[in-house]
Amino acid sequence: MEAVRYEKGLNGGKAEKVEKAEKAEEVEKAEKAEEVEKAEKAEKAEKAEKAEEVEKAEKAEEVENA
């Protein structure tokens, strides 16, 4: 069950939910986490491509030296 915070309103002290702001904050955090994850994946792919290029260069050098 989701906990709901309440805030005292100006009209007669009625409680108003602050739930929408909390949900928006959660969505924003999730979006940021997703962006970080995408950046990390892109970085890993870039590193893998560089490693592949190095490997090809080393093989070419071996063939050249043979």
For residue 34, what pLDDT is reported? Answer: 95
Parse the chain into domains and list their residue ranges: 6-65
Residue matched to tokens 């592949």: 52
For residue 9, what pLDDT is reported? Answer: 57
Distance (Å) of CA 47 to CA 40, 41, 55: 11, 10, 12
For residue 12, what pLDDT is reported? Answer: 47
The pTM for the full model equals 0.52
For residue 4, what pLDDT is reported? Answer: 57
Tens of pLDDT, residue by residue over 14-65, are 445 667 778 888 999 999 999 999 999 999 999 999 999 999 999 998 888 8
